[in-house]
Structure 1
Amino acid sequence: MSTWLVTGGAGYIGAHIVRAFLAQGLDVVVVDDLSSGHESFVPAGVPFVRTSILDTAALTAVLREHAVAGVVHLAGFKYAGVSVRRPLHTYEQNVTGTASVLQAMADAGVSSLVFSSSAAVYGTPHTDLVTEATATAPESPYGESKLIGEWLLRDQARATAESDAPLRHTSLRYFNVVGSADESVVDTSPHNLFPLALESVAAGRTPTIFGDDYPTPDGTCVRDYVHVGDIALAHVAAAQALDAGRTLEPAYNLGSGDGVSVRQIMTAVAAVTGRDVEPTVAPRRPGDPARIVASGELATRDLGWKMRHDLVEMVASDWRARSAARAEQS
């Protein structure tokens, strides 16, 4: 049976991917430096190694010790806004870190890689629906670092094409990951909309909408919001496809095809929580596009991708996980 390494497997998304692997009966090992992850998110019985992906020797040792067949690479610095203030840190973690992962894989003879990329590689696309053919034009060091990561995979695959272990890979691009598929794992980001809105409601504060005068149906920004459980299943499907020797596209969008607005999210928060949620409207934030929504058709074709949760289910799953966490802390 194949064992897969999940870098960043103690994080919000990574921990869900680990659980999705286990649900398919696949063995997994986790590497995480816990800079933003939580060891408590790693399921009991799953081997966990606390180390940085910058430590190539340590990664190589993990790959060899656990006879790893493939890697799901999530570990990195993910905050686009903060990356503008900390570009060197962002590039070190996301570019140098990815190069370190690839070097460790080459040293250990591991040839399958699923890369957790980002729709930030597109920047502000001039199209209503983003596809994999949409031009990449990242607008932050974070988005740039993810695109460079994809280039590293491409170039390493070319370089190893005639070797005994040619790199086989794919990258998954997605926007806003929300919800919870396990009440013991919740998004603890200080920057994401769902945590900000739901924690505000739980504390009796008023959530904030930044701009309600966009050229959208209700005046607020429209984005892809995808349930974390669905994102996790796509990573497992990609890993299984590579394991089976299938050839995949270099990149797939995990998109909804239609998106939801910030106002719709606030309405769903009110419905789920039973609280009076009338958000404060603040001025637009610079650089926020009116609409960014991606097509997931290619991922549907090759990975069986689909949205299995609607907006209310996404909000409800997140609220349950947060309520459980609050109850445990009290």
Structure 2
Amino acid sequence: MAWLITGGAGFIGAHVVRAMREAGEPVVVFDDLSTGDRSRLPADVPFVRGTTLDADHLRRTMQEFSVRGIVHLAAKKQVAESVARPLYYYRENVQGLQSLLDASVDSGVRAFLFSSSAAVYGMPDVELVAEDTPCAPINPYGETKLAGEWMVRAAGCAHGIATASMRYFNVAGTATPGLADTGVFNLVPMVFEKLTEGAAPVVFGDDYDTADGTCVRDFIHVEDIASAHLAAALALMDRGPGTDLTVNIGRGEGVSVREMIDLIGEVTGYGPEAAPVAAARRAGDPARVVASADRIHRELGWSARHDVREMVASAWEGWCRRHPHARRPAG
């Protein structure tokens, strides 16, 4: 049997491919390359280009490679874009998932892992967000992820597929420079971009009810995200039909935006140049979102291994590799 990894040429997907291959699990990547990059994949990994909206193409792929497990990572994931284009997000993230589940049922898939998000929680007013914290997404992206969890769970129950929904928090870092995130949508690459342009990093709101006035988040290394997927995939195959897991993937430690920017200045050598400027709050940003990681440790024996400094250092190495001529810190 093989694992089909949708979105496997993406930033997170390529790390999941790497982790599963190192564990001896055969994988096939299915990706439309809208944001993915095939060069992230080893040459001997089977690759199929296609969209999850095409159920027939998915069925043929599953049959050709004897797929019995799915890791579904392919999705649109930009919050602001989801607000501007909600129907596009529902089509890609929900209708695409339905097509994939249809093909999975027809092809006898035994295990299905769904890439979810902390966005399903919305703006939780709790110190640590546990899996039983009420879900109240505040944007279409989060809504599509919550709807996806419902669909995966229902299909698994009806058709005897072991299922898991993996709720990521703030992903950063890279395993190798070649697998680094090429987008500039998350805090760490956004700060890198500003610093290498000679501009000050920006914090959106410095008047929150937190220790330093900036938002507090749970940052998790992408290698830890990948190892959590591997642990869940093996557990689903071992436990079989009737298994349904919903787990947070986080470290359970909060780091403020200002603390993270200070650390970036230290690790990269920009020092005082990394002092941020404040801008207005962004609509919908909660003051604090930090995971409780108790359930995933209890259910899968998994814990995060990498700290925030490792995330920044590895991401910076990847950034420098991709931008060899960008401005570097003085001295």
Q: Structure 2 length normalisation: TM-score? A: 0.94
Pairing 1:223–2:217 present: yes
Pairing 1:266–2:261 present: yes
AA partner of residue 83 (structure 1)? S
- State how far apart, in whole Å, the 1-side matches of 2:325 and 2:97 are: 36
Pairing 1:238–2:235 present: no
Offset at residue 126 of structure 1 (A): 2.0
Report the secondary structure of 2:62's partner residue.
helix
1:42 aligns with: 41
AA partner of residue 18 (structure 1)? V
Offset at residue 100 of structure 1 (A): 0.7
2:304 aligns with: 307
Moved more, 135-144 or 200-209: 200-209
- State how far apart, in whole Å, the 2-side matches of 1:96 and 1:296 are: 30
Offset at residue 94 of structure 1 (A): 0.6
Offset at residue 143 of structure 1 (A): 0.5
2:118 aligns with: 119
AA partner of residue 15 (structure 2)? H
- State how far apart, in whole Å, the 2-side matches of 1:62 and 1:128 are: 44
2:317 aligns with: 320
- State how far apart, in whole Å, the 2-side matches of 1:91 and 1:268 are: 37
Offset at residue 249 of structure 1 (A): 4.3
Pairing 1:203–2:197 present: yes
- State how far apart, in whole Å, the 1-side matches of 2:243 and 2:252 are: 21
- State how far apart, in whole Å, the 2-side matches of 1:114 and 1:196 are: 29
Offset at residue 327 of structure 1 (A): 3.4
Offset at residue 305 of structure 1 (A): 2.2
Offset at residue 328 of structure 1 (A): 9.6
AA partner of residue 321 (structure 1)? G
Moved more, 43-52 or 319-328: 319-328
Report the secondary structure of 1:271's partner residue.
helix
1:177 aligns with: 171
Pairing 1:4–2:3 present: yes
1:101 aligns with: 100
RMSD: 1.5
Offset at residue 188 of structure 1 (A): 2.1
Offset at residue 248 of structure 1 (A): 4.6
Query: What is the correspondence of 1:80-159 to structure 2 with a 5 Å cutoff?
Result: 80-159=79-158
Q: 1:213 aligns with which of 193, 197, 207?
A: 207
- State how far apart, in whole Å, the 2-side matches of 1:15 and 1:23 are: 12
- State how far apart, in whole Å, the 2-side matches of 1:192 and 1:206 are: 16
Offset at residue 207 of structure 1 (A): 1.0
- After superposition, give the CA deviation of every residue in 1:136-158 in whole Å (9 maximum; x if it has no partner): 11111110101111111121123
Offset at residue 222 of structure 1 (A): 0.1
Kindly tell me the number of residue pairs found equivalent between the two proteins.
323
Query: Which 5+ residue runs of structure 2 have no aligned equivalent?
Result: 327-331
AA partner of residue 291 (structure 1)? R
1:53 aligns with: 52
- After superposition, give the CA deviation of every residue in 1:224-245 in whole Å (9 maximum; x if it has no partner): 1100000000001111111212
AA partner of residue 224 (structure 1)? D
AA partner of residue 172 (structure 1)? M
- After superposition, give the CA deviation of every residue in 1:22-67 in whole Å (9 maximum; x if it has no partner): 1111111100001111111122210111100111011111111111
AA partner of residue 107 (structure 1)? D
Q: Is the 8 A contact 1:186 1:322 kept in 2?
A: yes
- After superposition, give the CA deviation of every residue in 1:249-280 in whole Å (9 maximum; x if it has no partner): 43101122221110111111111110121111
Q: 1:255 aligns with which of 218, 225, 250?
A: 250
- State how far apart, in whole Å, the 2-side matches of 1:126 and 1:212 are: 18
Q: Is the 8 A contact 1:248 1:302 kept in 2?
A: no
Report the secondary structure of 1:25's partner residue.
coil
Where has structure 1 moved over 6 Å in runs of 4 or more? none
- State how far apart, in whole Å, the 1-side matches of 2:244 and 2:51 are: 29
Query: Which 5+ residue runs of structure 1 have no aligned equivalent?
Result: 161-165
Moved more, 121-130 or 300-309: 300-309
Q: Is the 8 A contact 1:223 1:291 kept in 2?
A: yes
- State how far apart, in whole Å, the 1-side matches of 2:7 and 2:174 are: 17
2:182 aligns with: 188
Report the secondary structure of 2:100's partner residue.
helix
- State how far apart, in whole Å, the 2-side matches of 1:307 and 1:110 are: 29
- State how far apart, in whole Å, the 1-side matches of 2:238 and 2:128 are: 31
1:163 aligns with: none
- After superposition, give the CA deviation of every residue in 1:145-176 in whole Å (9 maximum; x if it has no partner): 0111111112112322xxxxx11101000121
AA partner of residue 267 (structure 1)? D
Instruction: Work out the percentage of aligned pairs sharing the same amino acid.
Output: 50
Q: Structure 1 length normalisation: TM-score? A: 0.95
Report the secondary structure of 2:291's partner residue.
coil
